[in-house]
Amino acid sequence: MSEQTYLSTKPIPMQERLIMALDLPSIEEAKKLVEVLGDSVHFYKVGMELFMTGDYFELIHWLKARNKKVFVDLKFFDVPETVGRAIRALSKVGVEFATIHGNNAIMESAAKEKGDLKVLAVTVLTSLDRGDLDDLGFKCDIKELVTSRARRALELGCDGVISSGLEAPALRDQIDNKLLVISPGIRPVENRPSDDQKRVVTVTQAFNNGADYIVVGRPIRDAADPYSEAQKIQSQIAEAFQQ
C-alpha cells in the first residue's frame, strides 16, 4: 500500500506554487536574477536583507510592473496595535502574502487589518531543530508546537502558516484544509553540511505532505544556470500533481 499523500486541491496556478526567495544583498542583484529567471518564476519572496537596502518598496513595485506576485517576509513582531497598523499599510501596496510572528493578540490584530492581503503566521523556523527549541525553553514536540500555532492562527483569522514540509501532514490531518501551508527549507538534493536549514524536504515530499506553495532560494540562486534549475523545479512540481 502506498503512503498517504496530501496534494493540495486549492485552485492555485501551477507555476505560482514555486516562490523564489530573493535573498540578495542589493536591489540591483535581485533585479538581475529576476531577469535571468524570466518566465520560470512568477512569485517572489522579499525579506529583511533587501529591506535594509532602503529600496525595498521600489523593488516591489518593479516586480509588480512585471506581473510578478510578491511575498513580503518581514515577520512582523511588535505590540499588537503596531503590527496591525503595519499590516494595514502594507495591504494597500498590493502584495499577496506577509509573515507575522508572535502570540494570539498579534495574530488577531494583523488579521483584522489585512484586507485582501493574506497573512501567514510563522510556526517554527526551519533553521531550528529539537536542540534549538530546548535552548529556547520549548519542551513540547516540534509537531505539536507547529500544529498548535497553526490552529490558533486560523481561528484568529490568519490565512496560513509557514511550516516545514515535515510537519505539513499533521496540519492536514488536524486542521481545516483551507489553511494555506507554505513550506521553506526545500532542497532538491541532499542537504550540505554548511547549510543552516535543518528541517528540510525535497520538492516532491513537500507537496505530497500537503504544502500549497514551496519557497526555494539558494538551490536556484547558487546554481550554475538558475533558469534551468527553476525550470527543473517547476517540472518536479508538475510531476507531483500528475501522480
| List of E strands, 3-125 | 18-21, 43-46, 69-76, 97-100, 118-122
Between the CA of residue 2 and those of 5, 166, 200, 208, 243, what are the distances in Å? 9, 18, 22, 12, 12
Q: Catalytic pick from 31, 64, 75, 198? A: 75
Q: Please report where in the chains the cell 538551490 appears, as a residue.
A: 219
Distance (Å, whole) CA 156 – CA 108: 5
Q: Are 86 and 95 in contact (CB under 8 A)?
A: no
Burial 212-233 (b: 16+ CB within 10 A, else e): bbbbbbebbbeeeebbebbbbb
Alpha-carbon distances, residue 51 vs 4, 19, 227 (angstroms): 40, 18, 25
Q: CA-to-CA distance for 45 and 143, rounded, in angstroms? A: 25
- The yes-or-no answer on residue 118 being catalytic is no
The span from the first CA to the last CA of the chain, in angstroms, equals: 15
Nearest-angstrom CA–CA distance, 79 and 50: 24
Distance of CA 239 to the CA centre of its chain: 21
**Hey, which residues are catalytic here?**
75
